[in-house]
Amino acid sequence: MSMAKPNLEAREKILAKLRGKELANCFQCIKCTSGCTALKLLELKPHEIIKLVNLGFVDELPSSDIIWTCVTCLKCVQRCPQKASPYHVIMALRNIAVEKEAKVPEGYFKAVSQILETGLAEAAQKCVTRKMEAVDRQNLKLPKVRPPKESFQVVFMKAMEEK
Amino acid sequence: MTRIGVYVCHCGLNIAGVVDVEKVAEYAKGLPDVVVARHYTYMCSEPGQRMIQDDIKAENLDRIVIATCSPRMHEETFRRAVAEAGLNPYLTEIVNLREHVSWAHTHEPEKATEKAKALVRMGVARVRLLEPLEKRKVSVEKSVLVVGGGIAGIQASLDLANAGFKVYLVEKAPSIGGRMSQLDKTFPTLDCSACILTPKMVDVAKHRNITLLTNAEVANVKGFVGNYEVSILKKPRYVDAKRCVGCELCTRVCPVKVPDKFNENLSEKRAIAIYSAHAVPKIAIINPDYCLRVKFNEGVCGKCQDACEAEAINFEDKPETVQIKVGGIVLAVGSEVFNAAQMAELGYGRFKNVISSIEFERISDASGPTGGKILTPKDNKVPKMIVFIQCVGSRDKRFHEYCCRVGCMVTLKQAILAREKIHENVRVYVCYIDLRAFGKGYEEFYRRARDMDIDFIAGIPSEVHCAADGSLYFDVYDNGTNKLLEVHADLVVLGTGAVPNSDLGNISALFHASRSADGFLLEAHPKLRPLESAMGGVFLAGACQGPKDIPDTVAQASGAAAKAIDLLSSGEIELEPLKAVVDKDLCSGCRICESLCPFIAIEMKPEIVAGNEKFRAEVIEAMCQGCGLCSAACPTGAIKIQQYSNRQVLTQVQAALAEAEAKGGN
């Protein structure tokens, strides 16, 4: 095992994105990890992410794929007794990863272009009836989903850039 | 000719580390009428005090300015020192260079030194106008009111009564004993709680110096330190205390079932019953919310009346008010248990086999609903797996930020009790964050628990689930093994902390005892005056001041009793002379001061002026605390506070505004 070295500069960068979230207050009660919906998919546990940031062992975090596994159920936010939830750290790490142009899972870009085109986070899909017939909006004689106005895209892009 | 001495304290490096004390002393020498100006490491020390005393004699000083820490810290010390040297102690002015300068401006030493000079200049300007004052002496009642009959109130009452003071012990519940009487065993020795408490309860009832008022509450408090007038409301008991012999014949015939509060509502009792197995006084009481006769009047039920051979039942009982005069008050009103239903994720209130630690005490206690057998409340089975979850409602910013200070030890005790009572047929898990075993013998007690095959999990579950068959299960991640454990439990015990009483707000208003940010009653000083409230003659004991275990509670209660004895034993006390005085010629009788005074120290006295009756304000000296509200509000300037007259304050303001080079003066 190699000796870990804290990177205090990178740590400051993460903390700057977390204003008001009292990370240092975490006393490792591990409630977040005990209740984490995505725990079985995670290499690093939520309580470990907080401690790593607090101690400055942050170098691998933004490029790691763990930060993309969080399903944002917000249970840890609700139940953290010290209001130091790992969710906000994971969000900050995601933003840093995008800024660094690190590898971002494809699904996220798909979701963004989806929203830009349709205004919906989830596209209208085909579904299967009890008689095993595949139907879509057209079969069901539902009106077409109208694309969003152009002004929406402008505002959306602007918000993205600001972040 | 005024002769002023100025003394600048270094306070070690607390002041001198920031303020250039030498410069300040040098500057003070140039101020008008200043004869001596010195600086010294610790002015409050014996050589520091002697320095002032020697100068008063040698230089014939008649006014003293001491630039040091907050007057709340050492004003009294310096006044005493000055008085010993023969000068009136009220001719001393404290300038606060620590809290107001060095601690506030740590990173700006130059500006801090300038500010220190300005404050000294103001102090010198003001000290010249101070007048000599004499302390007031008032006689005191040699009796004490103790509010709350838990172990704190019991201990304080016994100590006071043994010292020869008359004690009135007021308890809200029908019996004394409080929280401790609900406990099974006590840590760290596993003494049976009833065995060590009940004799004390009986001593209270038998003591000739103690008047015990149960089922009663304080309704009103008037007066001031040494002379409080208190009215106590005795709620109706519907049973004649003098006649009832505690035979419980009435309970046997009563048809109405009532949840048993003493058993944390885990069992039922009757609408007429004795409060608990060890109740003192052991007298029946009717619960008026449930009793058919009291609720619905004439002709209904009345079975207890027929059964009672002592003819003690009185359905016509009315509330009664008792007036008493006491010199001091000990507040020992205790605390409540955190209601875990607020933390919905842990299932308390939804799942019957999730219980609080106080409910576990009742289940484990021989006089409890299961006769001391540990059984699950839902199905009355012996649990095979018990899990304790720590810090429920405590150390949690969503509820209470403080540590409950007893939860860890309570859980260790209960885990040991479970292991002893159910032997090897039970697995016991304790899910904790930090295990705090800080008291005498506590760490050894923790080791005893570890020796007994109790499993400690370093992690708290996020939620507790209930399966279709009613069994409890949850995940918890253990930090020691880095494993996610799937736990199935028959009984989950939540380590619920202590919270301030829901009516502590009323109590705080009634006795003028303020509260700290955590909601508990606030001590006068966190380190040096932990047994008193800021209100003169009102002392604090036990968990109403902050969560406490039994040893700490008893220690504080004895301490509070000793404080009350200290205050009242001589039969008279000295009061600060700083009080309001009225210039009768200026008073217009507008009554604003009367309406504002929080100590009811202003009386409007009629007077005949040119044939017309006119009211003028008069200050009841013994009650005035010198807070200054009246003086600030008086539209004609008729009321002033001694040592804080307009002239004395405005002179200081002028000195503040004068340029530093103007060398004080005007």
Please tell me whether residues B432 and B468 are part of one structural domain: yes
The confidence score (pLDDT) of residue B508 equals: 95
User: B416: distance to nearest CA of chain A, Å?
Assistant: 23
Pick out chain A residues at pLDDT < 50: none
Residue B469, Cβ neighbours under 10 Å: how many?
5
Q: Which residues of B touch A50 (CB under 8 A)?
A: none
- Is A32 within a domain? yes
Task: Determine what percent of chain B is predicted with pLDDT higher than 90.
Answer: 86
Of B397, B398, B475, the CB nearest to A34: B475
Q: Is B449 exposed, middle or buried (0-12, 13-18, 19+ CB in 10 A)?
A: buried
Beta bridge partners of residue B430, listed in sequence order = B388, B456
Please tell me whether residues B257 and B277 are part of one structural domain: yes
Please tell me whether residues A48 and A89 are part of one structural domain: yes
Per residue in B540-578, pLDDT (tens digit) is: 999 999 999 999 999 999 999 999 999 999 899 888 888
- Which residues of chain B from 561 to 620 reach within 8 Å of chain A, CB to CB? none
B459 touching A (Cβ < 8 Å): yes
Chain A residue closest in CA terms to B479: A30
The confidence score (pLDDT) of residue B13 equals: 95
Sequence letter at residue B258: V
In eight-state DSSP terms, residue A67 is G
Please tell me whether residues B370 and B325 are part of one structural domain: no
Tokens of B217: 């509450």
Which pLDDT band, with edges at 50, 70 and 90, does B665 fall under?
very low
Please tell me whether residues B342 and B488 are part of one structural domain: yes
Per residue in B496-544, pLDDT (tens digit) is: 999 999 999 999 999 989 999 999 999 998 988 999 998 889 999 999 9
Q: Where are the beta strands (DSSP E) in A9-161?
A: 127-128, 134-135
Beta bridge partners of residue B523, listed in sequence order = none
Cβ pair B357, B494 in contact under 8 A: yes
Q: Is the pLDDT of residue B599 over 80?
A: no
Please tell me whether residues A65 and A13 are part of one structural domain: yes
Closest by CA position to A18, among listed A67, A79, A90? A90
Residue B271, Cβ neighbours under 10 Å: how many?
25
Q: Is the pLDDT of residue B664 over 50?
A: no
Q: Which residues of B touch A31 (CB under 8 A)?
A: 459-462
Closest by CA position to B542, among listed B503, B508, B500, B510? B500
Please tell me whether residues A95 and A130 are part of one structural domain: no
Of A30, A36, A76, the CB nearest to B460: A30
In eight-state DSSP terms, residue A146 is P
Closest by CA position to B137, among listed B537, B538, B571? B571
Residue B132, Cβ neighbours under 10 Å: how many?
11
Please tell me whether residues B491 and B400 are part of one structural domain: yes
Q: Which residues of B touch A32 (CB under 8 A)?
A: 462
Task: Calculate mean pLDDT across residues B196-213.
Answer: 97
B344 touching A (Cβ < 8 Å): no
Please tell me whether residues A34 and A89 are part of one structural domain: yes
Per residue in B236-283, pLDDT (tens digit) is: 999 999 999 999 999 999 999 999 999 999 999 999 999 999 999 999
Q: Domain range holding A151? A: 122-162
Phi first, then psi: give them for residue B415, nearest 5 degrees.
-65, -40
**How many CA atoms are closer than 13 Å to the CA of B587, on its beta-carbon side?**
26
Cβ pair B116, B68 in contact under 8 A: no
Q: Which residues of A touch B398 (CB under 8 A)?
A: 81, 83
Phi first, then psi: give them for residue B543, nearest 5 degrees.
-70, -5
Task: Calculate mean pLDDT across residues B589-612.
Answer: 86
Interface probe for A, chosen from B457, B477, B492 (most Cβ of A below 10 Å), is B477
- Is B628 within a domain? yes
The confidence score (pLDDT) of residue A22 equals: 82
- CA B658, B664, B666: angle at the middle one, nearest 5? 70
- Is B330 within a domain? yes
Beta bridge partners of residue B612, listed in sequence order = B609
Tell me the Cα Rg of chain A: 20
- Which residues of chain B from 388 to 407 reach within 8 Å of chain A, CB to CB? 391, 395-398
Tokens of B461: 């579950």
- Is A105 within a domain? no
Interface confidence, given as ipTM, is: 0.81
Please tell me whether residues A129 and A70 are part of one structural domain: no
User: A15: distance to nearest CA of chain B, Å?
Assistant: 20
Element (H, E) at B473: strand B472-478
For chain B, the residue count is 666
Cβ pair B375, B368 in contact under 8 A: no
* Residue ending a domain, choose from B497, B527, B547: B497
User: B446: distance to nearest CA of chain A, Å?
Assistant: 20
* Residue ending a domain, choose from B105, B133, B161: B133
Contact B475 A35 (CB under 8 A): yes
The confidence score (pLDDT) of residue B659 equals: 64
Per residue in B18-70, pLDDT (tens digit) is: 999 999 999 999 999 999 999 999 999 999 999 999 999 999 999 999 999 99
Q: How far is CA A136 from CA A115, A121, A127, B306, B387, in A?
A: 20, 18, 7, 80, 51
Please tell me whether residues B128 and B158 are part of one structural domain: no
Gap between the Cα atoms of B44 and B81, Å rounded: 9
Contacts (Cβ under 8 Å, ≥6 apart) of B610:
none
Please tell me whether residues A147 and A91 are part of one structural domain: no
Cβ pair B68, B98 in contact under 8 A: yes
Phi first, then psi: give them for residue B574, nearest 5 degrees.
-95, 135
Whether the ω angle into residue B281 lies within 30 degrees of 0, i.e. cis, is: yes
- Please tell me whether the overall predicted TM-score, pTM, comes out greater than 0.90 for this model: no
Closest by CA position to B4, among listed B52, B65, B85? B65
Please tell me whether residues A66 and A126 are part of one structural domain: no
Residue B648, Cβ neighbours under 10 Å: how many?
19
**How many CA atoms are closer than 13 Å to the CA of B388, on its beta-carbon side?**
32
Please tell me whether residues B436 and B467 are part of one structural domain: yes
- Please identify which residue in the block is written with the tokens 């009321």: B639
Element (H, E) at B647: helix B646-657
The confidence score (pLDDT) of residue B464 equals: 97
- Is B312 within a domain? no
The confidence score (pLDDT) of residue B545 equals: 97
B479 touching A (Cβ < 8 Å): yes
Please tell me whether residues B396 and B295 are part of one structural domain: no
Contact B463 A30 (CB under 8 A): no
Lowest-confidence segment of B109-113, B407-411, B581-585 by average pLDDT? B581-585
Helices (H), B540-636: 550-568, 592-596, 629-633
- Is A148 within a domain? yes
Contact B461 A35 (CB under 8 A): yes
B342 touching A (Cβ < 8 Å): no
Question: How large is the angle between the packed helices B109-127 and B21-29, nearest 10 degrees?
Answer: 30
Phi first, then psi: give them for residue B316, nearest 5 degrees.
-95, 5
Antiparallel, parallel or unpaired: β B465-466 and B472-478: antiparallel
In eight-state DSSP terms, residue B102 is I
Beta bridge partners of residue B427, listed in sequence order = B385
User: A64: distance to nearest CA of chain B, Å?
Assistant: 20
CATH of the domain at B19: 3.40.50
- CA B573, B575, B578: angle at the middle one, nearest 5? 175
Chain B residue closest in CA terms to A39: B484
Of A36, A47, A79, the CB nearest to B345: A79
Q: How many domains does chain B have?
A: 5
Chain B residue closest in CA terms to A29: B433
Residue B248, Cβ neighbours under 10 Å: how many?
16
Please tell me whether residues B216 and B257 are part of one structural domain: no
Q: Where are the beta strands (DSSP E) in B308-424?
A: 320-326, 328-331, 335-337, 354-356, 385-392
- Is B242 within a domain? no
Cβ pair A67, B497 in contact under 8 A: no
Please tell me whether residues B90 and B122 are part of one structural domain: yes
Closest by CA position to B581, among listed B615, B616, B546, B550? B616
Q: Which residue has the higher pLDDT, B623 or A29?
A: A29
User: B487: distance to nearest CA of chain A, Å?
Assistant: 11
Of A28, A34, A82, the CB nearest to B397: A82
- Please identify which residue in the block is written with the tokens 């409340």: B377
Q: How many domains does chain A have?
A: 2
Q: Domain range holding B616? A: 580-642
Please tell me whether residues B590 and B547 are part of one structural domain: no
Contact B484 A31 (CB under 8 A): no
- Per DSSP, the three-state class of A98 is helix
Gap between the Cα atoms of B169 and B152, Å rounded: 11
- Is A78 within a domain? yes
**How many CA atoms are closer than 13 Å to the CA of A13, on its beta-carbon side?**
16
Q: Is B343 exposed, middle or buried (0-12, 13-18, 19+ CB in 10 A)?
A: buried
Chain B residue closest in CA terms to A84: B397
Per residue in B74-109, pLDDT (tens digit) is: 999 999 999 999 999 999 999 999 999 999 999 999
Gap between the Cα atoms of B505 and B404, Å rounded: 20
Gap between the Cα atoms of B53 and B83, Å rounded: 9
Q: Is the pLDDT of residue B660 over 70?
A: no
Gap between the Cα atoms of B520 and B333, Å rounded: 11
Q: Which residues of B touch A79 (CB under 8 A)?
A: 345, 462-463
Task: Determine what percent of chain B is predicted with pLDDT higher than 70.
Answer: 99
Which pLDDT band, with edges at 50, 70 and 90, does B662 fall under?
low
Per residue in B347-400, pLDDT (tens digit) is: 999 999 999 999 999 999 999 999 999 999 999 999 999 999 999 999 999 999
B535 touching A (Cβ < 8 Å): no
Please tell me whether residues A34 and A76 are part of one structural domain: yes
Please tell me whether residues A27 and A75 are part of one structural domain: yes
Gap between the Cα atoms of B588 and B440, Å rounded: 63
Antiparallel, parallel or unpaired: β B580-582 and B143-147: unpaired
Cβ pair B232, B218 in contact under 8 A: yes
Interface probe for B, chosen from A31, A47, A80 (most Cβ of B below 10 Å), is A31
- Is A112 within a domain? no
Please tell me whether residues B481 and B414 are part of one structural domain: yes
